[in-house]
A and B are shown apart, each in its own frame.
Chain A
Amino acid sequence: MKFCKTEVLKILGVAILSAVLFNSFSSQGVEYIYSPDVPGDKKVVSLEEAKKLFDEKEVLFLDARPVSIYKRGHIPGAVSVPYNAPEKEKLMADISKDKNLVVYCYSQRCNQARLLQKRIEKLGYNNTTLFDGGIKEWTKANYPMEKSEAK
């Protein structure tokens, strides 16, 4: 690999300058130091609460991850509704709007469940709860898992 140090520094310098300018003036701009939105506690459940809801069988779990990942293993009885699925109304046609739903994805950092929660709330599903520990915490606690075809 051959390169000129001055040229590399010029490329990096111009790129950093453009990045700062673009980020400052673009509507797409993000904060330089990220601080996460703290979700309202009434719509987030911990692992223990999620397990309790699972045992009571009063809620329906929604898996926000891609179908291929869902098939490899998910919370028993969970329905696959990938966060980016174009026709969520069809996928959720059999689910009553009053049903208590718990959405999850892989872990606190995957964001897919949070996006799915927002998107299905727009469809009229207002009783949604986020299990933000997701499959990572669930499997760590050795809670039951199920492998199956997507529903």
Chain B
Amino acid sequence: MKELIDNKYLIFILRLAAGFFFIYAAQSKLFNMAGFAQAIRAYEIIPDSLSTLPAIIFPWIELYCGVLLLVGFYTRSSASVAAVLMILFTVNILIALLRGLEIDCGCGASISGIDRVSWSKITENSFIILILFLISSRKSFFLALENKRKVN
């Protein structure tokens, strides 16, 4: 198992997959910020008046994390930021589920095709968080732009 986790090619594939996932999630929110803000309001966690702020900022954090993961620059840091963001989303989904809300999750991207607040969404997010933790725990990366910076 340890050998599999240490496999640089596997980490490379996971890094690309996570990168594409975050870019895809970001672009769908960037071009529908009002919709994303609406989805945030539906969670009934932060005051309505503040709902647009995360809708404006979060997609850009996702986009930069996605691009950085893809090209392999600031890789560990971008994986960590993305993981924190995913944990935040997942906790919100969990709170909504426990409160019995039947709402769209506003996730922007989905592996399973589920876009509602659900236990499968939490499982899916946990899987992505695990991948991000795995990436952020690595010291070096295969085919990463930051390797060039270290050489120079």
Contact = CB atoms under 8 A, between A and B. Distances in A.
Contact of B42 (A2, A14, A110): A110
Q: Which 6 A-B pairs have the closest CB atoms?
A: A7-B77, A3-B80, A15-B60, A3-B77, A19-B60, A15-B61
A27 B38 CA distance: 17
B44 A109 contact: yes
9 contacts: A2-B137, A11-B64, A15-B60, A18-B64, A20-B56, A29-B33, A30-B56, A32-B53, A33-B50
A10 interface: yes
A3 B136 contact: yes
A96 interface: no
B77 A32 contact: no
Chain A residues touching B, range: 20 to 34
Contacts, number: 99
A150 interface: no
A73 B83 CA distance: 36
Contact of A34 (B50, B57, B101): B50
A16 B51 CA distance: 16
A28 B32 contact: yes
Interface of B: 30-34, 37-38, 41-42, 44, 48-53, 55-57, 59-61, 63-65, 68, 74, 76-81, 83, 101-103, 116, 133, 136-137
Contact of B80 (A1, A10, A15): A1
A4 B50 contact: no
Interface string A85-114: 000000000000000000000100111000
B68 to A, nearest CB: 7
A2 B136 contact: yes
A34 B52 contact: yes
B42 A111 contact: yes
